[in-house]
Structure 1
Amino acid sequence: MIDRLLSSQDGVVTSTHARAAGLSADAIEWRVRSGRWRRVSRGVYVARDRPFTDAARARCAVWSTSHGVLTGTSAAFWLGITTHLPPRVEVTVPLTSSGRAVPGVVLRRRTLDAADIVEVRRLRVTGLALTVLEASAVLGQEVMDRQLQRNATVIALRRAQDRNRGRRGSPAAETLLRAAEGGARSEAERLAVRVLRAARLTGWVINHPFGPYIIDIAFPAQRVAIEIDGWAFHSDTRAFHHDRIRQNVLSASWTVLRYTWQDLTERPDAVAAEIRAFVHRVQ
């Protein structure tokens, strides 16, 4: 029975699990002394005959705490949003919890709402909505966008955000969520205008008409068109094909540069430099 339990838990077991599987305290201690098990922390063990994987690290981190929950980018790994566990595993414990973090664990103290905690493969972890918010604040907009194309919803993200205001990363997540709620394309256009003004670029206009289309930002004299892409979760097949037709028509007589929300937030100086270079090239 204990071998089946170890197989289902990535080679990690707690003393509580082991006793429930029929092992006595002496039997547990014998496995440690004989080298079959390694004690990671008080009451947490790993079997030495199994690989110590990222999943095993995550279990050890959570089970080494009192009422711990896997959070942040560590939770994103457990839920399959990312593919690698961070070098230091993030675990959140209630404000009333005592104890210190074990090596390799970042311990955060915050009492999570029960609505934001789920159990996945016998491990307590933040639910999808809160995990997406926290991971996006660290890893960027593409995390939120990708999950909104899959199982996450804007409504669920908003509810989780409102339940967890003031947490670490909350302002960054709020900015991304507002863009998702209001349509990131319009917000990205406003960001693009700020980038151009900060770079002191001139000669551009917004919403420039060209035939049946409206160019987001245009340099008419140089015929340079700046097109802003919204988030993928707002798109559908019809919108995709419309954008491709639009791109082909514009490209016949304009130099078209396309930028995303991520471009404008993470590399605004590079965006401005690229636009400047193209504008000067065709003058």
Structure 2
Amino acid sequence: MARQDGVITLEQAVESGMTAAAVSRRVKCGEWRRLTTGVYLRADRAVTAAVSLRAAVYAAGPGAVACGPSAAWWHGLLDRPPQQQWITIPTSRSVRERDGVRIRRRDLDWVDTSASRQLRVTGVPLSVLEAAVELRDGSVLMDRALQRHTSLPALEAVHQRHLGRRGSAAAGMLLRAAGEGGASEAERMLHRLLRRHGLTGWRPHVMSCGFEIDVAFVPERVAIEVDGWAWHRDVERFNRDTERQNILVNAGWHVLRFTWHHLRNDPEAVLSQICRALPRRS
């Protein structure tokens, strides 16, 4: 129970030498409390996000694993737990749907699952792919994972193993964007955004201080720099971009930086920041 955030199943208790009656006595005397059918929590433990996820997976029975955003959070790829629990169970079984728990039925290969802190979860590559297509800022999650936790070949391999699954097409598009780096496509997205909203007076690829600015409103001295996926940038590139931005600012440019993720996930916020940077036009 200590290794499982204070959670234990009836099956685990019996395997440890207890009887079902002994479990019932612990519940009646207030030492344990029942979370759901066959899953218990020590009374001195709070019902945390980790406890709730464990209870959902354990209650789903043999072969159940945390998946998608839940697994991504469990692996430390998300800062906050998702609002609902994402669970995969084998196709040969069914469980009753519960509020706050999303059940998917499919058979997973052993290579796509792992045990982490006494809980079965999908492996990092599959967790990243599934969470990326379910979350509004899923591309940011994938970018962060590629920087530290997995590789593009690993993501592409797991994608090929699960072609046709829910979200497969969207995942394929994200993988292509990640592989290309995204900078060129981000520029095209920015151009489309500016044209769609009728902003004029901007020019692409303007030279200043020996640097090429991606998009510039020259009279207003507003420079817009566009970045691709962060995992493509090494330390040398980061330092060079920082020096470049400082030089432009000292030369009187108001520099705005946007990433592929900003332009894809929140274009309205991008447009709002650009409009605020431009002096009021007559």
Question: TM-score, normalising length from structure 2?
Answer: 0.87
Residue 72 of structure 2 is matched in structure 1 by: 76
Give the counterpart letter for 1:191 in structure 2.
M
Q: Equivalent residues in 2 for 1:185-224 (5 A)? A: 185-210=183-208, 212-224=210-222
Aligned to 1:96: 92
What SS class does the counterpart of residue 92 from structure 2 fall into? coil
The AA in structure 2 aligned to 1:185 is: A
Q: CA RMSD in A?
A: 2.4
* Amino acid of the structure 1 residue aligned with 2:264: T
The equivalences for 1:157-176 within 5 A come to 157-176=155-174
Cα distance, 1:264 vs structure 2 = 1.0
Residues 1:193 and 1:35: Cα distance change in structure 2 (over 3 Å): same
Deviations 1:93-138 (A, max 9, x none): 1222122134432212233333221111221101111212223330
The whole-number CA distance in structure 1 between the counterparts of 2:242 and 2:80 is 35
- TM superposition shift of 1:46: 1.9
Could you tell me whether the CA contact under 8 Å between 1:216 and 1:226 is conserved in 2? Answer: yes
In structure 1, the partner of 2:13 is: 18
Q: Specify every segment of 5 or more residues in structure 2 that has no aligned partner in the other structure, as ranges.
A: none
Q: Which amino acid aligns with 1:55?
A: A
User: 1:151 aligns to what?
Assistant: 149
Retained in 2: the 8 A contact 1:93–1:109? Answer: yes
SS of the equivalent of 2:240 reads: helix
CA gap 1:98/1:270 in 2 versus in 1, 3 angstroms: closer
Q: Which moves more between the two structures, 64-73 or 250-259?
A: 250-259
SS across alignment from 1:111: coil
Q: Deviations over 1:44-103 (max 9, x none)?
A: 222223222222211110011132110122112211222433342111112221221344
Distance across 1 between alignment mates of 2:64 and 2:151: 26
- Give the Cα–Cα distance (whole angstroms) in 2 for the partners of residues 120 and 88 of structure 1: 20
Alignment partners' CA distance in 2, 1:218 and 1:87: 41
Shift of 1:39: 2.9
Local SS of the residue matching 1:149? helix
CA contact under 8 A between 2:136 and 2:265: conserved in structure 1?
no
Match of 2:25 in 1: 30
Find the residue that maps to 2:255 and give its secondary structure.
strand
The percentage of counterpart residues that share the same residue type is: 45
* 2:268 match: 269
Q: Distance in 2 between matches of 1:162 and 1:145?
A: 19
